[in-house]
Amino acid sequence: MNESLFISIIIGISIASVPLIFAAIGELLVERSGVLNLGVEGMMIVGALLGFVVMSHTGNPYLAVLSAMLGGMAIASIFAFLTQFLLTNQVATGLALTLFGLGFAAFAGRGYTEETIQLITAVPIPYLSDIPYLGPLLFSFNPLVYLAFFMVYLVWWFLFKTKQGLILRAIGDNHDAAHAIGHNVVRYRVMAILFGGAMAGIGGAFLSLVQVPIWGEGMTAGRGWIALGLVVFASWQPFRIIFGAILFGGITILQIHAQGLNINVSAQYLSMLPYLATIIILVSLRMRLKNKTNRTVPNCLGRIFHSTT
């Protein structure tokens, strides 16, 4: 295999996996706090739309990414309000969030389907990117790619190296006990949900600002749901998200290259691969854990908390 093809495949994989890393690491923190938010797809598409709209009006990539984050947080706040204050069922509310987000983005973005924008391109780090082999492999990515990996580190550091992270995990495992010793369960969960919204927002924006320079209804194409699968696959461990996301990125790239190589399988069957892979990977994880309960699942995941005192 020649070198430039190899590098282009690596870059392709990274571009395909980064939206999943963002969305999944956000959801991981949310689930660690004991909340199951099935609205990832809805938050991603709103992020994709807002990032695109702001980029097409201002041309400023920082503003675009920032507004995608805020958009994700705004729609996540609906979920936070309903589940944390009005004690609604998290599964139903998350689904409503996805349906609403898809509808809202299609409605609000109807004037933008013909437009194109300037993509956010890779920024090779000066000097370092000139190193042979290592330079193109490590130091010439899109800035958002580095941010994604940094966020994974940050979530790991927060969860396992800070006091607040410990409290958040405690809340996820036993909200009644955490409440009894004086921690504010609802506040932690609301913050986690908003963080999850922000991350899903960036993940969505990555699709419309880095992958393709256009906006289209339903352009997230199930990536929010794949991100939810990744969290399970990662057994709620931050660094495993990267591994899982790269696996999916690889499958996506394989599918694109296979189409280019004229392999005699219709495009539809190749496009099924990422979805089928999600299922296969979840099954294989279970086969590995055979007869053992997955002890990393937050105990209170999806349960409603209401304090009477």
Footprint on this chain of another protein (rule: CB under 8 A):
38, 78, 82, 86-89, 91-93, 95-97, 99-104, 106-107, 110, 217, 221-222, 225-226, 228-229, 232, 266, 268-269, 271-272, 275-276, 278-279, 282-283, 286-287, 306, 308
Task: Give the tokens for residue 37.
Answer: 């938010």
Closest to another protein by CB, 177 vs 279, is 279
- Tell me how far, at minimum, the Cβ of 106 lies from another protein, in Å: 4
- Tell me how far, at minimum, the Cβ of 119 lies from another protein, in Å: 26
Neighbours of 289 (CB within 10 A): 12
Residue type present at position 66: L
Find the DSSP H helices in the chain.
3-32, 40-58, 61-80, 90-108, 134-138, 143-161, 163-173, 175-180, 185-206, 223-233, 238-260, 267-271, 273-288
Closest to another protein by CB, 11 vs 200, is 200
Closest to another protein by CB, 134 vs 283, is 283
First to last CA, the chain: 66
- Tell me how far, at minimum, the Cβ of 3 lies from another protein, in Å: 34
- Tell me how far, at minimum, the Cβ of 116 lies from another protein, in Å: 20
Closest to another protein by CB, 181 vs 287, is 287
Q: By C-alpha distance, which of 305, 225, 307, 302 is closest to 32?
A: 302
Closest to another protein by CB, 4 vs 268, is 268
Q: By C-alpha distance, which of 195, 167, 198 is closest to 183?
A: 167
- Tell me how far, at minimum, the Cβ of 264 lies from another protein, in Å: 13
- Tell me how far, at minimum, the Cβ of 220 lies from another protein, in Å: 11
Residues 6 or more apart whose Cβ sits within 8 Å of residue 293 = none
Q: By C-alpha distance, which of 252, 249, 301, 289 is closest to 272?
A: 252
Is residue 282 a contact partner of residue 232, using CB atoms and an 8 Å limit? yes
User: What CA–CA distances, in Å, run from 260 to 4, 47, 256, 285, 298?
Assistant: 17, 30, 6, 31, 43
Closest to another protein by CB, 38 vs 300, is 38
Query: Side-chain half-sphere of 23: how many Cα atoms within 13 Å?
Result: 37
Q: For residues 64 and 57, what is the distance between their CA atoms, to the nearest angstrom?
A: 9
- Tell me how far, at minimum, the Cβ of 24 lies from another protein, in Å: 13
Closest to another protein by CB, 2 vs 266, is 266
Q: Please report the sign of the dihedral spanned by the C-alpha atoms of residue 100, residue 102, residue 105, residue 106.
A: negative
Closest to another protein by CB, 187 vs 286, is 286
- Tell me how far, at minimum, the Cβ of 297 lies from another protein, in Å: 11
